[in-house]
Amino acid sequence: MGRMSSPLGSFLRARREALTPAEVGLEPEQGRRVRGLRREEVALRAGISRQYYLRLEQGRDRQPSREVIEALADALLLGDEALPFMVRLVELQALRDPESTADDVARERVAHIVELLGKQPVLVADTNFDIVAANPALDALTEGEWSSGNNVIESMFGHRMQGQFGDWERAARKITATLRFRGNPFDRRFRRVVTGLERSSPEFRWMWSRHDVGTLTSGQYHHRVAGEVDLDLGYQIFVVPSSPRWVLTTFDAKGGSASSRALDQLGLGRVG
């Protein structure tokens, strides 16, 4: 992933290069060779000097104001999730708190919660998508891919998991965008996960280079178990109050549906 001198600068540069002049109402320019917008064009749209914008991209200025961040988000036509992401990057650059560890008591608590949910597939993962706890129901659903101690996104880009998702690319792009949104670029484990996937997966390398940001909260997806059992599942994601860097994800099927009956036949069961 290279030298992490300025995560915010890398993000700004990538989004600037991805934006076409036409998207911001600029007239076509014959012989234009610049990829995306010029720095001065972004600076003008944001109402800041070109020199200041250059310092932000190069990481020489790490503490822009909230007003500047909002102006840059507007200038680059970024979505709603980009603004809190940029604010968080600025905060991380100021704190430089790279490591986050959880104590054994917290792990025991979430493991107990997962156990109480019984037959409903559930997992708890940290900001790097390392799985803190998972129950046997989830283990059966994912054929052991998302067991405790594994990493969700590393598994996601493996051959076995690709065959379990009906629209794998869409799911992979969402989870990659969420890793960027939630992860701490100064965290050594985060860098190991990203670097390893960039080396091993061309698909991840392409998705990561887009600098998309997003969050997973709830949704529906198609899951195939053992190559033959097709399920339409929903998922819900909740922040663990005692450990806000962890999230708990539950999976279920609509009551009375074929997918619900298939879950029962698999011995996974459902709740509600």
SS (HEC) of the chain: CCCCCCHHHHHHHHHHHHCCHHHHCCCCCCCCCCCCCCHHHHHHHHCCCHHHHHHHHHCCCCCCCHHHHHHHHHHCCCCCCHHHHHHHHHHHHHHCCCCCCCCHHHHHHHHHHHHHCCCCCEEEECCCCEEEEECHHHHHHCCCCCCCCCEHHHHHCCHHHHCCECCHHHHHHHHHHHHHHHCCCCCHHHHHHHHHHHHHCHHHHHHHHCCCCCCCCEEEEEEEECCCEEEEEEEEEEEECCEEEEEEEEEECCCCCHHHHHHHHCCCCCCC
pLDDT of 5: 59
Q: What is the pLDDT of residue 31?
A: 75
CA 263 to chain centre: 27
For the chain, the structural domain boundaries read 7-95, 104-265
pLDDT value at residue 272: 36
Q: What tokens were used for 181? A: 């949104």
User: What per-residue confidence (pLDDT) applies to 4?
Assistant: 47
- The model carries a pTM of 0.82
Domains 7-95 and 104-265 share a fold: no
Q: Which pLDDT belongs to residue 248?
A: 93
Q: pLDDT value at position 99?
A: 52
Q: Mean pLDDT per 10-residue run, the chain (272 residues)?
A: 68 94 86 87 95 92 92 94 92 66 67 75 94 90 92 94 91 96 93 96 96 93 84 92 86 88 64 36
pLDDT value of residue 267: 55
Fold of domain 104-265: Beta-Lactamase (3.30.450)
Which CATH code fits 7-95? 1.10.260.40
